[in-house]
Structure 1
Amino acid sequence: MTLPEITPDALPDDAYLLDVRENEEWVAGHAPGAVHIPLGELQARVEEVPHDRQVFVVCRVGGRSAHAAMWLNHIGRDAVNVDGGMQSWAVTGRPMVSETGETPYVA
């Protein structure tokens, strides 16, 4: 099975974006409206992930999110990996926010 992927600039505006990075990475900068579930917590918190809509999964560069998306698809969710992760997100100029009030960045 091929893992579906999408580039950050092709994401729909109303996308459900699941960020699977670690807490420090999330705090430094993330997409507005994204949902944060670190990869290590995903199995325990999977019921927080919607069953009824496509889920776009992002991490720093795309490796962790690819693993998360593959697993989510394996258990019956409709998951798509965000190619290039938050690094590509930042390069394409998509908006970011931080939890610190500082200028957001990809950690």
Structure 2
Amino acid sequence: MCGGADIEKIRVNLNQPIKAEVKAESSEVLKTVDDDRKYVIQTTIVRIMKARKTMKNQPLIQEVISQISRRFIPKIPDIKKAIEMLSEKEYIERMDGDTFAYVA
């Protein structure tokens, strides 16, 4: 066995991440980003409502989109969920029809 010609060399690259770990990591990052975006949408709504006191639904959504669009493009259903959540937390309240008022 001194010749070494019969021995096959196997290379193992230890620096490559395992695919399952990459998938778990990327889904965790996406969940964190989604959570962060929800908070950004909520804080933007509160900031707008604090300044304006009352506002109709559609102009509120448009204002949120225009303020956040520099960071990311928010989805309208996410904005509507954030409005409902803030309503449940009693930061804003629905007045007549589609008008909201700042409470807190």
- Answer whether TM exceeds 0.5 for this pair: no
Q: TM-score, normalised by structure 2?
A: 0.29
More helix by share: 2
Q: Name the structure, 1 or 2, with higher relative contact order (CA <8 Å, separation 6+).
A: 1
